[in-house]
């Protein structure tokens, strides 16, 4: 067995370790720029929010969406989910919300996806920093009873922090 040294790149995520300060930095800047370029969103303006609070995402009940549009929308959601799971947990709620409409999306859904892309233009260089300082375990939870306008289901969320950084979260519908 050979020692290959410290890991620097893993599953489209750059990793930088500072052993003196006891920190680890994780970033997906290159992958995010690649996705933005793939979906022709790299030249768009950046925004500060990833979903407008006045938008209510509802199912489309009129004609069926064509297959190409469905595949393109699903590809965008899949790309956003990978970013969300690795380094951008701030977009979890919005990505979860738009992912419910992968079979029957409309313009409002795709505009919300584009809004997330515009947000990623601004936050592509952000990273997650793990600092090993204090070992307090914190947890937060929230429930939105009957908050989904389509299914009338509740949403449960919990988040755990260790060393002031998120280590586990759940978003259930």
Q: Domain for residue 4, yes or no?
A: no
State whether 85 and 158 are in the same domain. Answer: no
Q: For residue range 143-157, list pLDDT tens digits in order.
A: 777 666 667 677 788
**pTM higher than 0.85 for the full model?**
no
* Phi, psi of 161, deg, nearest 5: -120, 140
Output the furthest CA–CA distance in the chain (Å, rounded). 60
| pLDDT at residue number 125 | 92
State whether 63 and 146 are in the same domain. Answer: no
| pLDDT at residue number 169 | 74
DSSP E strands in 11-164: the ranges are: 13-18, 23-27, 128-131, 137-144, 155-162
State whether 71 and 36 are in the same domain. Answer: yes
State whether 146 and 97 are in the same domain. Answer: no
Q: Which domain holds residue 72?
A: 9-132
Q: Answer whether 38's CB lies under 8 Å from 79's CB.
A: yes
Q: For residue range 53-102, list pLDDT tens digits in order.
A: 677 676 765 566 677 788 889 999 999 999 988 888 888 888 988 888 88
Instruction: For residues 143 and 146, give the distance between their C-alpha atoms in angstroms, rounded to a whole number.
Output: 9
Q: Domain for residue 3, yes or no?
A: no
Domain count, the chain: 2
State whether 145 and 83 are in the same domain. Answer: no
């Amino acid at each position: 067995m050979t020692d290959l040294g410290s890991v620097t790149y893993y599953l489209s995520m750059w990793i930088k370790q500072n052993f003196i300060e006891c920190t680890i930095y994780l970033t997906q800047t290159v992958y995010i720029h690649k996705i933005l370029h793939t979906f022709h969103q790299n030249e768009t303006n950046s925004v500060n929010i990833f979903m407008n609070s006045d938008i209510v995402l509802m199912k489309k009940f009129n004609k069926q969406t064509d297959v190409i549009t469905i595949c393109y929308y699903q590809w965008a959601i899949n790309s956003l989910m990978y970013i969300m799971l690795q380094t951008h947990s701030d977009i979890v709620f919005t990505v979860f919300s738009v992912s419910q409409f992968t079979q029957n999306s409309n313009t409002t859904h795709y505009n919300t996806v584009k809004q997330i892309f515009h947000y990623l233009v601004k936050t592509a260089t952000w990273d997650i920093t793990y600092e090993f300082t204090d070992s307090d375990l914190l947890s937060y939870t929230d429930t939105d009873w009957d908050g989904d306008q389509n299914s009338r289901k509740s949403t449960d969320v919990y988040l755990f922090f260790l060393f002031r950084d998120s280590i586990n979260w759940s978003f259930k519908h």
